[in-house]
Amino acid sequence: MAGLLEGDYRAGEERRSRVIRIIVVSVLALTVIAGTLYFFFHNYRQEQQVKQFMKLLEARDYQGAYNLWMGSDSARARYSMSDFMQDWGPPVDVSGYAILDAESCGKSVIVDVDSGHAGGRKV
C-alpha cells in the first residue's frame, strides 16, 4: 500500500513541477517580448511626428509644418513664421530624408534625421 501512495505522490509532484516550469518560461518569454517591443517602439509617436513634419516640408506646406513645429502660442511668440521660413523655407529640400535614430533624453526625445540634400544648408 505504501508503494501505491508513493507513486501517486510522485505523479502529482511531476505535474506540479511541470506547471511551475511552464509558468516561469511563459513569464520570461513575455518579459523578453515586452522589453523588445518597448526598445523598438517607445519613441514611435515622436518618430511619426517628425515624418509628418518632413512630409509637410516636402509638400511645401510651410504653414502646416510651422503649426506642427510650434505647438503653443507662447512658443510662436519666440519663433515667428518668418524665422521658421529662414530656417526651413526655400531653398531647403528635404526630399530623400531618412530617420536614423530616436533617443530618449529625460522628458525629451532626440530624433536623428538624414535630411538628404538640404540645399547646401545643414538642417
pLDDT of res. 115: 73
For residue 8 the three cell numbers come to 501517486
22: confidence class by pLDDT, cuts 50, 70, 90: very high
pLDDT tens digit sequence for 33-84: 999 999 888 999 999 999 999 999 999 999 999 999 887 778 888 899 999 9
Q: Flag whether the pTM goes above 0.95.
A: no
pLDDT of res. 18: 94
The 3-state secondary structure of 44-74, one letter per residue? HHHHHHHHHHHHHHHCCCHHHHHHHHCCCHH
pLDDT of res. 99: 87
Q: Tell me the mean pLDDT in the region 106-114.
A: 88
